[in-house]
Amino acid sequence: MTTTSLGRKAIRTAALAAGLAIAPLLALAQDFPQRPLTLVVPYPAGGATDTLARILSKSMAAKLGQPVIVENKAGAGTTIGAAAVANAAPDGYTMLISSNTTFTINPALKSQLPYDPLKSFESIGILGTSPLVLLAHPSVKTNTVQELVALAKGQPGKLSFGSFGAGTTAHFAGEMFKAMASVDILHVPYKGSAPAMQDLIGGQIPLSFDTNVAAMPQIKAGKVKAIGLTSAKPTSLMPGVPTIA
């Protein structure tokens, strides 16, 4: 599952879902905000988190009466964007919208981070969760998980899967799939969902794990096909797509 969460230090991350958390501050400072706010996305433009941020920024701007500017600061497994927010002035004007990669996976994998996941941000809440989808280029001669496993076992080391970054949930989903199926598939990390999806559509990679938000438009357009979901149960958002387990 991919969890999109908001964190802040003195409200250093946000969302309209953060309205209840912001309210006490507004009661103390009724003139907040007095200038535009910045919502940092630690991924490139075009991915699921970026899309959510842009929808959110419009609602926030309408409610707060000030522009909310979305800034993409991608790279290093979300640490570049997270560090930018952690080092910003704790005045409520710089916010972060990110995934559990920033707050749970990075601390588990990296001994040194340019931010403290517990102290650099104050969590506001979870915006939503999304299962990941195992996707394939239409040229891949498989439509089910079982067929894909058979194909991979017949071509060990020749297939590859993309993810939106090393150490991300998509990367871990791919590694778990490899372990469960006992197959050898090469991991190709990207700096976000959008470039990974672009290469999948273009046939540069045959497989990819991504969110259903990013995948649905491409599936409907016939540019990629869904093989399976990482969730425990099928979802009505993607009818007919089975779970991988």
Q: What are the pLDDT digits (tens) for 142-179? A: 999 999 999 999 999 999 999 988 888 899 999 999 99
Residue 124 in this model has a pLDDT that exceeds 80: no
CA dihedral 224, 229, 234, 236 (to 10 degrees): -40
pLDDT range class, residue 8, cuts 50, 70, 90: very low
pLDDT value at position 165?
Answer: 87
Instruction: Give the residue from 71, 53, 50 showing the smallest Cα distance to 194.
Output: 50
Give, as one character, the DSSP assignment of residue 15: -
Per-residue pLDDT tens for 196-234?
999 999 999 999 999 888 899 999 999 999 999 998 888
Instruction: In whole angstroms, give the CA distance from residue 12 to residue 142.
Output: 45
pLDDT value at position 235?
Answer: 86
Instruction: In whole angstroms, give the CA distance from residue 123 to residue 70.
Output: 19
**Hey, which CATH number is domain 132-229, 3.40.980.10, 3.30.300.350, 3.40.190.10, 3.90.550.10?**
3.40.190.10
Per-residue pLDDT tens for 59-78?
999 999 999 999 999 988 88
Instruction: In whole angstroms, give the CA distance from residue 126 to residue 116.
Output: 19
The more confidently predicted of residues 174 and 3 is 174
pLDDT value at position 16?
Answer: 25
Q: Which two tokens stand for residue 17?
A: 């879902």
Instruction: Give the residue from 233, 57, 223 showing the smallest Cα distance to 129.
Output: 233
What average pLDDT does the structure give for the chain? 84
Instruction: Give the residue from 69, 66, 73 showing the smallest Cα distance to 87.
Output: 73
Domain positions in the chain: 2-129, 132-229
pLDDT value at position 47?
Answer: 82
CATH superfamily, region 2-129: Bordetella uptake gene, domain 1 (3.40.190.150)
Instruction: In whole angstroms, give the CA distance from residue 177 to residue 10.
Output: 40
pLDDT value at position 190?
Answer: 92
Helix (H) or strand (E) holding 2, with range, is strand 2-8
The more confidently predicted of residues 168 and 83 is 83
Residue 17 in this model has a pLDDT that exceeds 60: no
pLDDT value at position 175?
Answer: 95
Burial grade of 67 (CB within 10 A; 0-12, 13-18, 19 or more)? middle
Instruction: In whole angstroms, give the CA distance from residue 106 to residue 93.
Output: 25
Q: Considering the entire predicted model, what is its pTM?
A: 0.73
pLDDT range class, residue 29, cuts 50, 70, 90: low
Q: How far is CA 207 from the centre of its chain?
A: 17
Q: What is the mean predicted confidence (pLDDT) over 37-59?
A: 90
Same topology, domains 2-129 and 132-229? Answer is yes
Q: What is the mean predicted confidence (pLDDT) over 74-100?
A: 89
